[in-house]
Structure 1
Amino acid sequence: MKRFKIILICSLLAFLVSCSQLQAANSGQTLLRLAHNQNSEHPIHKSLTEFSTLVEEKTGGNVKVVIYPNGQLGTEREIIELTQTGAVDIAKVSAGALENFEGTYSLFNLPYLFDDKEHYYQSMESSVAEEIYGLTDEIGFIGLTYYDSGVRNVYTRQTPVMTPEDMRGLKIRVQPSGTAIRMIELMGGAPTPMDYGEVYTSLQQGVIDGTENNETALTSGKHGEVAKEYSYTEHSIVPDILIISSTKWGRLAPEEQDAVKEAAEESTQLHKKLWAQETESAIEEAKKMGVNFSYPEKEPFKEAVMPLHKQFENNPETGEFYRKIREEADGS
């Protein structure tokens, strides 16, 4: 089944490439194919549309970005692999998905890595992030910028989570990430790795007791229909990352590279505003769905996951980056 899907995606890409090449030949443009898995109403799509507009403006029409939303070109893992080969030029993916390609990205899944949103923004717009973006150049892609995807919290069908003890025995869906699995174990729950598309039905049928995500999942994913207790554990802030094929990047002229990088960073700033508006709207809509919002003390949860912090600090792959990010928070 997976092989058939890959063949289907490749066939679609071959058709798109041939059309793009014909269009590019006629217009003299360089076309960049950008894939992501959100719908056209999502803030990320609006931000990527702004990115596309800015790229065309900044290059005088020499470079054009064509966007394929809704997972048209595959899952996050598939579009990362396609970006490695150059079949897809640019992709917006979760840092969690990138963990399977470059271990350093697992750092962004570390709970309570960032003290707050200010620390998060400061770190993601620093030289530390730029260093991480470049680590995957040799395997076929580099990072361009990040997009805010909210603060992740625990929410459950019926029981609010106010302490780690409240997590005991609860089956909590997590992303398929070793870091996320260990996090829920340390917080007291029973982690259940699962694709996002399966969460609603699993909550509805009681296969899982809860999950963890930002507030927009309550509305865009309709999770608020089947999960009525949202607890602000605020355990992680996992960014989305915009990546570009190393091959395609190398083919752009230096001034085109500068334009693409500038457009990416400017779209990130727009996205901050769009995301804040979307989050506020989601909370209000979720309340109308009957979702209750609770505010537990976070310190017990932070203490529970400290073994993960020690693990990342002592890991040769992540230790240096971990220390730099934490030093920013501590003012060192």
Structure 2
Amino acid sequence: MTRKYSPVLVGLAAVALMFSVAACSSKEAEVITLRGANQFDKNHVFSRTLFKFEELVKEYYGKPVNFEFYLNSELGLEKEYFAYMSQGVSVDFAHVSPSHMSTFSKAAPLMDMPFLFRDLDHWNKVLSGDALKPITDDVEQKADVKLIGFSGGGTRNITASKRITTIAELEGLDIRVMGAPIQTRIFQAIHAAPTVIAYNEIYNAVQTGVIDAAENEATGIQQMKFYEVGPEISLTQHAITVRPLVFSGKTFRRLPEDLQAAILRAGREAGEFGRETEAREDHATLLQMEAEGKIRTHEFTERAALLRLAAPVKEAYANELGVREVLARIDAVK
């Protein structure tokens, strides 16, 4: 039996089919893409932390979401990533050193200050709690960038051409420091003689006797082969790195609420992953170099004295930044 259909009904069915296809296409087109950037290759701990962030977001969101990664400085450097995120263009999330936030937030560089943390346990407790909340609020308000997690964990020590274990042996030590003025002030306070030298000139400067020492994390010592000219590692533990995982505020506000919640949860947990991983690998690298005979490590027997000498400089710097109460919150963490 042949069925006959009204031309009107056929037309309506065709229109309905068109709308159905269009709706499906529109739904597919609505899959959100988030863009992450990093200065390093895929094996670096920062990259692995971003990949962990992706994994956790997808798990907690439970809906399709795309991630694009731009590694090896493909989109520039951290300072540029932060500017992009503030503008809501090109980069949605990345790791950014606190010093690169200073253009927007005067308070942020406190997180880079030497002797801010008593030890690794204190550092981890501070980053796991809310002691830094006034800084994160300031960055979000002034830069429109959210600090959603805290990575880092490289412990910086002195690498020298001679053994240094006491304040007396540190006295007048010609040591290379980074360009931030607080670095010079802190090392002057602990009786060293700091000099600002470009990073790529450290090796030759120690080798030729221009300086006697530098300071760095284990990974930096290994990668730059500083152990060849400064094999004596003094365990001053004067800084433990903080590398916030940050997310563009403008991008965040455009996202569905359930994705926002997933991002905040994933950022916190990815930060924990990054801290545990970097701290563990940093220590392992130090042990590896010592086992290979490349370095000799020495306990700094008067580390408590270093903390006392640095304290007035830390307080003065916190006052300059307007974050004295934040320093007090950090010091209060037990």
- TM bucket (normalised to shorter chain) is 0.7 to 0.9
Shift of 1:145: 0.8
Task: Specify the code of the residue in structure 2 equivalent to 1:310.
Answer: E
2:154 alignment partner in structure 1 = 150
Matched residue type, 2:322: E
Secondary structure (helix, strand or coil) at the match of 1:135 reads: helix
Report whether the alignment pairs 1:309 with 2:314: yes
Q: Is the 8 A contact 1:28 1:62 kept in 2?
A: no
Q: Percent identity?
A: 26
Aligned length: 305
Instruction: Structure 1: give runs of 5+ residues left out of the alignment.
Output: 1-23
Of stretches 116-125 and 200-209 in structure 1, the one that deviates more from structure 2 is 200-209
Contact 1:218 1:286 in 2 (8 A): no
Q: Distance in 2 between matches of 1:46 and 1:202?
A: 33
- Offset, 1:205: 5.1
Distance 1:169 1:312, change over 3 A: closer
- Deviation track 1:171-228 (CA, whole Å, cap 9, x = no partner) reads 4232332222211222223333355455445445555432222222222333223321
Which residue identity is paired with 1:233? T
| Distance in 2 between residues matched to 1:261 and 1:196, nearest whole Å | 35
| 1:34-53 equivalence runs, <5 A | 34-53=36-55
**SS at 1:217's partner residue?**
helix
Q: Which amino acid aligns with 1:64?
A: N
Give the alignment partner of residue 83 of structure 2, picking from 81, 101, 104: 81
Moved more, 302-311 or 163-172: 163-172
Report what 1:248 is aligned to.
251
Contact (CA 8 Å) 1:51, 1:264: kept in 2 or not?
Answer: yes
On the 8 A contact 2:149/2:245 being kept in 1, the answer is yes
Range that drifts further, 197-206 or 27-36 = 197-206
**Alpha-carbon contact 1:55-1:64 (below 8 Å) kept:** no
Q: Deviations over 1:116-141 (max 9, x none)?
A: 22222221122222332221223231
Q: 2:275 aligns with which of 272, 275, 278?
A: 272
Shift of 1:312: 4.0
Establish whether residue 319 from structure 1 lines up as the match of residue 324 from structure 2: yes
Higher-Rg structure is 2
Change (3 A) 1:319 1:165: same
Query: What is the DSSP-based 3-state SS (H/G/I as helix, E as strand, rest coil) of the residue aligned with 1:239?
Result: strand
Shift of 1:27: 4.7
Match of 2:220 in 1: 217
| More displaced stretch, 316-325 vs 57-66 | 57-66
CA shift, 1:108, in A, is 1.9
Over 3 Å counting, the alpha-carbon distance change for 1:80 and 1:166 in structure 2 is farther
- 1:115-134 matches, cutoff 5 A: 115-134=118-137
Distance 2:127 2:34 in 1: 25
Q: Which residue of 2 aligns with 1:15?
A: none
TM-score normalised per structure 2: 0.81
CA distance in 2, matches of 1:81, 1:64: 23
Structure-2 change in CA distance of 1:38 and 1:197 (3 Å): farther
Partner of 2:111: 108
Q: What residue in structure 1 maps to residue 70 of structure 2?
A: 68
For residues 144-169 of structure 1, what are the alpha-carbon distances to aligned partners after superposition, in whole Å with 9 as ceiling and x for unaligned?
1100332221112x112223443444
CA contact (8 A) 1:219 1:285 kept: no
Q: Which amino acid aligns with 1:306?
A: A
SS at match of 1:307: helix
Counterparts of 1:207 and 1:93 in 2: how far apart (Å)? 32
* SS of corresponding position for 1:235: strand
SS in 2 for 1:72: coil
Aligned to 2:235, which of 232, 236, 241?
232
- Judge conservation of contact 1:108–1:237 (CA < 8 Å) in 2: no
- Is the alpha carbon distance of 1:115 and 1:135 closer, same or farther for their aligned partners in structure 2, counting shifts above 3 Å? same
Q: CA deviation at 1:111?
A: 3.0
Q: Is the alpha carbon distance of 1:308 and 1:127 closer, same or farther for their aligned partners in structure 2, counting shifts above 3 Å?
A: same
8 Å contact kept, 1:105–1:132:
yes
State the alpha-carbon separation in 2 of the partners of residues 201 and 28 from structure 1.
Answer: 54
Matched, 1:141 2:145: yes
Deviation at 1:269, TM superposition (A): 2.5
Gapped runs of 5+ residues in structure 2?
1-25
Deviation at 1:95, TM superposition (A): 2.3
Residue-by-residue CA offset, 1:9-57 (whole Å, 9 max, x unaligned): xxxxxxxxxxxxxxx9965322222112233222222121111122223
For each residue in 1:223-255, what CA deviation from the matched residue of structure 2 results, as whole angstroms up to 9, or x when unmatched? Answer: 223321111111122311111122111112221
Alpha-carbon offset, residue 92 of structure 1 = 0.4
Aligned-pair CA distance for 1:293: 0.4
